[in-house]
Structure 1
Amino acid sequence: MVYKIGVWPEFMFPSPLQVFKTLWSGIKDGTYTIALLHSIRRLLIGYFIATILGASIGVILASNKTLDETFGSLVLSFQSVPSVVWLPLAILWFKLGEPSIIFVVVIGGIWNMIISSSTGIKNVSPEFIRCAKNLGYKNIKMFAKVIVPASIPHIITGMRLAWAFCWRALMAAEILGTGKGLGQILMWGRDMGNMQTVLSVMIMIALTGFITDNLIFKKLEGRVLERWGLLNN
């Protein structure tokens, strides 16, 4: 170990065995499990709002050229702003607590959903539109039967990216905010100088993100792309 040769002391760089013992202990006594459930609940609420709201705004932007050229440019700018930057405003608007954390989570994922939904609708093949018109489709029927189904691959990709960004935003908000969650345990470990706790929570966060992405969103995206004939074999 690096601390044995005098590079770093043990409390700064704990051994992998110490980290995994702390991780297992936190899971066994329910500390990490309860914190994870609190975090997942916030994530699901924020993600659901970001998905619905983002997709709706994306549809509006794609349907209105003036809005797309004005507000659409602002969306691209907002996407580059880290979601944690919104936390001071969230605290000012909603006070320090659950609503402010969920607001930051929503902000973390909404921009990707807007961009993906808008891009998907604008990139629908003109051939689909012409064929639908020849079949008598127009207005709402055209939108529901042709445009939305054709844009699904972009929307699914946006949902996958939005989940990842919402997860990152949640951790940042929990570290700086209040309430139970993995971010709060991480903050406690840092304040106490307990690097085993810090590293074990980091592993927990990474594993949760990896599992949800690979077991849910990656498979869903692959099936959609295969169904739409967009998956390279």
Structure 2
Amino acid sequence: MILIIIWEVVYKVGVDVLGVWKSYTFPEPLSVIKTLGSLISDGSLIGAILISMRRIIIGYTISLVVGLILGLLIVRFKYLDENFSALILGMQTLPSVCWLPFAILWFGLSESSIIFVTTIGSVFAISMATEAGIKNVNPIYVKAASTMGAKGLKLYFNVVIPSALPSIISGMKQGWSFAWRALIAGEMLSATKGIGQILMVGRDLADINQVASVMIVIIVLGLVIDKFIFGALEKSVRRRCGLERN
């Protein structure tokens, strides 16, 4: 509520008093709320959210599986570590939107192209976090488990991976945020239905209130998912590791 009041004051001072901005370049809180209500009432926003959520769930799930496997392989095989770690880091720094021309050429203007961009946007962050988490496991844990007879896959899955989980979950959270960005960029540039498409329509119509409304929806969705999925998962892992009280 305080943020909305501050926002309204900034709008009144900047637009009505000082004339720093034009009314069509700076959103007003009340107009944004009205636009948001209109998008919800006509069903366009709800439909777009469902479509976008389906895409990101598919893309993120693929990136999660591929990223975890890739991270495990890099740690397991020294050749891959020496030759692919730097490449993966370089790929991670590459903006996801750069992959969109490839996606369109390979898959056309289809659902698959957006899912591909979403997947490629998060897979490297997850693999890097998996690699770093396993490499930074305290050697004492491994030695202690080895003295008690744990070895091979049993040592790996019962000691190493559980110890690396906090780092892996952090990478999963980062990967989710990258996947969101890639998804919105893909939907904006491929002109297909989804949250990004509504954002693009607002830009084309010079409707700053619609643009602000969609931005708020994206932020809210991100916060909800972080709190109820990743937050709960992180809390559970911390409790199992003795870092948080029940």
- Residues 1:50 and 2:52 aligned together: no
Residue ranges of structure 2 left out of the alignment (5+ in a row)? 1-11
Deviation, structure 1 residue 92:
1.2
Helix, strand or coil for the counterpart of 2:193? Answer: coil
Q: Which amino acid aligns with 1:155?
A: I
Are 2:158 and 1:156 aligned? no
| CA deviation string 1:53-97 (max 9, x = no partner) | 000000000111221111011111111111111111111111112
**1:4 paired residue number:** 16
Deviations 1:13-68 (A, max 9, x none): 24210111001121122211110111110010011001010000000001112211
* Alignment-mate amino acid for residue 61 of structure 1: I
Give per-residue Cα distances to partners, 1:113-144, cap 9 Å, x unaligned: 10111111112222222222222222122222
Cα distance in structure 1, aligned partners of 2:185 and 2:121:
10
Partner in structure 2 of residue 18 of structure 1: 31
Which residue number corresponds to residue 223 of structure 1?
236
SS of the equivalent of 2:24 reads coil
Three-state SS of the structure 2 residue aligned to 1:186 is helix
The answer for the alignment partner of 1:173 in structure 2 is 186
Q: How far, CA to CA, are the matches of 1:191 and 1:45 in structure 2?
A: 29
Task: Provide the C-alpha distance between the structure 1 equivalents of 2:197 and 2:36, rounded to a whole number of angstroms.
Answer: 15
C-alpha deviation, 1:218, in angstroms: 2.2
Which residue in the other structure is 1:102 paired with? 115
Identify if the C-alpha distance between structure 1 residues 111 and 68 changes in structure 2 by more than 3 Å, giving closer, same or farther: same
Secondary structure class of the residue paired with 2:137:
coil
| Structure 1 contact 87–100 (Cα < 8 Å) conserved | yes
Structure 1 gaps of 5+ residues are: none
Is 1:124 equivalent to 2:137 in the alignment?
Answer: yes
SS of residue matched to 2:25:
coil
Q: CA deviation at 1:231?
A: 5.6
- Output the aligned Cα RMSD: 1.6
Cα drift, residue 9 of structure 1: 2.9
Structure 1 stretches of 4+ moved >4 Å: none
Aligned residue among 114, 121, 133 for 2:127: 114
> Identical aligned pairs, as a percentage?
46
Q: TM-score, normalised by structure 2?
A: 0.89
d(CA) in 2 for partners of 1:115 and 1:13?
A: 39
Q: Does residue 203 in structure 1 map to residue 216 in structure 2?
A: yes
CA distance in 1, matches of 2:126, 2:22: 45
Moved more, 88-97 or 53-62: 88-97
| Mapped partners of 1:153, 1:198: distance in 2 | 36
Aligned residues: 232
CA contact (8 A) 1:53 1:110 kept: yes
